[in-house]
Amino acid sequence: MELRHQLCQSDVLMDYQLLKANLEHPNQGLYFGGSFMTVPQSVNVYARYFEARLYKEAPFRSRPADLLSVVASRSAYSKSHTDSLTAQGKTVWRDSTALTASYSMRVSAGNYLDVGLGYVHGPAVTPKVSNPLKLTASWTAFFQRSRVSVPKSRPADRILSGTPFTRAHRAPDRCDR
């Protein structure tokens, strides 16, 4: 019975479109979203995670495939874990807060360059190090199979072909009750 309780995890994620920038392309616009994730502190060092995000698809008329975002997040570390580290004489952060602004630019079909600037207060559980200002850059390449080999009757094709105005996800409860 105790093991089932320890393996319980809860996730709630939601995004909502605040403004539509282009009626011909309803996915383009301003979105607001949030996330909350939690696990028992006895199971994971990262016990809770909260996130608020604001992002704009097609931030410029000339860049319809780009994405501009600002994300604020907070992670709470397990009290039992940080207490045990403190008892060993180690320095710890009890939580972490981050603010990140990023821009994802479509370079060519399937190729994106992501650049971000972020500040993190409490970047690691231990040791207690200084708070960094970080610059990140990444290149992402997507590859697509030929659509000729994909059957047209697959339910996933019908689901993925629509443009969602509101995106929400609640992970199934992983607790055996």
pLDDT surpassing 90 at residue 166: no
Is 175 domain-assigned? no
Q: Which residue has the higher pLDDT, 157 or 58?
A: 58
The percent of residues in the chain predicted with pLDDT above 70, rounded, is 78
Number of domains in the chain: 1
What stretch of H or E contains 86? helix 79-87
Is 35 domain-assigned? yes
Is 176 domain-assigned? no
CB 75 within 8 A of CB 95: yes
Confidence of residue 145 (pLDDT cuts 50, 70, 90): confident
Domain that holds residue 87: 2-170
The pLDDT tens digits for 17-38 are 999 988 899 999 999 999 999 9
Alpha carbon separation from 39 to 26, 36, 104 (Å, rounded) = 36, 11, 31
Q: Which residue has the higher pLDDT, 10 or 33?
A: 33
pLDDT surpassing 80 at residue 168: no
CB 10 within 8 A of CB 37: yes
Is 115 domain-assigned? yes
Dihedral over Cα of 46, 128, 136, 53: its sign? positive
